Amino acid sequence: MASLKKCIEQKCKDCCYDPMDTGTWRDQVEKCNVRNCALWPVRPMTVATINLQRKVKGSAVDVDSLVAGLDDEEEEQEVAPA
Ligand code: SF4
């Protein structure tokens, strides 16, 4: 059974990832600007952005609380464009 985190990642990837565009799927999902989407506050982001948000006092999104308790049993793999 897939974890909640993996389900969110897959949904966002299916929604907006374009292998012909620049950046990884996380880069592209991070740039999603559909703020009225229910998944927007918990959409996957790059590690660099997560670390930056942790350093910013008063960040709008408390990343630690969002990812707490979510499983991450699989390593992320990028699929090269065909
Ligand atoms: S947050 Fe953005 S990429 Fe993720 S499902 Fe919503 S609209 Fe799609």
Query: What is the pLDDT at residue 65?
Result: 62
Domain-located, residue 76: no
The amino acid sitting at 11 is K
DSSP 13: H
Domain-located, residue 79: no
Query: What is the pLDDT at residue 22?
Result: 95
Domain-located, residue 68: no
Query: What is the pLDDT at residue 64?
Result: 61
Domain-located, residue 48: yes
Query: What is the pLDDT at residue 77?
Result: 59
Report pTM: 0.68
Domain-located, residue 51: yes
Domain-located, residue 77: no
Q: How far is the CA of 9 from the centre of ligand 1 (A)?
A: 9
Query: What is the pLDDT at residue 52?
Result: 86
Query: What is the pLDDT at residue 51?
Result: 85
Domain-located, residue 57: yes
Ligand 1, CB cutoff 6 Å, lining residues: 11-12, 15-16, 29, 32, 34, 37, 39-40, 43
* Alpha-helix runs per DSSP H in 1-82: 4-16, 25-30, 47-55, 63-67
Spans of the chain, pLDDT less than 50: none
Give the domain range for residue 36. 4-61
Q: How many domains does the chain have?
A: 1
